[in-house]
Amino acid sequence: MLRFQIIQITFILGIYLIFGLVVLIFYLISAFIGISLLETVNYIEHYGLRRKEFQGKYERTMPVHSWNSNHPVGRLLLLELSRHSDHHFLANRKYQILRHFDESPQMPTGYPGMVLLSFFPPLWFKVMHKEIEKYRNRADGSFLA
């Protein structure tokens, strides 16, 4: 880890030395936005879902262990990121041929709407806890928190 920290610091220092302070500030702002979006998407894709544990090992990841979104615009713009459940089910499947699973929990909106919703925690919890309850009632609920 120390080696990678040194690489990152060297990279940031290189940006400053070659391009100056203004470009460094823009780089750091864009890096912050990118990291924030990555973590937000990761949060919304897995919120409230869990796998069963058997003798210290968790069950195989299945399509019901992540939220799915089958909105056409999101599918096109995000290169099938919205078919996240199939990625977890078969991680080496190419993104162009990821499948939709009706049994997977479905996000109430597409990714842009879910990202915006996650920025307002009280509203997020109200909407998502209702969705979690819907899936808990639909199945045996074992995959839901």
- Model confidence over 30-80: pLDDT tens digits? 999 999 988 998 898 888 877 788 888 888 777 777 888 877 777 777 766
Length of the chain: 145
In a domain, 96, yes or no: yes
Inside any domain, residue 97: yes
| Residue 60 within any structural domain of the chain | yes
Tell me which residue of 22, 88, 21, 33 sits closest to 60, measured CA to CA. Answer: 88
Domain of 104, in residue numbers: 34-138
The answer to whether residue 106 sits within a structural domain is yes
pLDDT over 80 (residue 143):
no
d(CA 6, CA 77): 35
Give me the half-sphere count of Cα atoms (radius 13 Å) on the Cβ side of residue 115.
14
**Residue 22, domain member (yes or no):** no
The C-alpha angle with vertex 106 and arms to 105 and 108, in degrees rounded to 5, equals: 135
Q: What are phi and psi of 106, to 5 degrees?
A: -105, 130
Asked whether residue 42 is assigned to any structural domain, the reply reads yes
Does the pLDDT at position 121 exceed 60?
A: yes
- On whether residue 7 sits in a domain, the answer given is no
* Residue 123 banded pLDDT, cuts 50, 70, 90: very high
Does residue 19 belong to any structural domain of this protein?
no
Residue 141: per-residue pLDDT: 46
State the total domains in the chain: 1
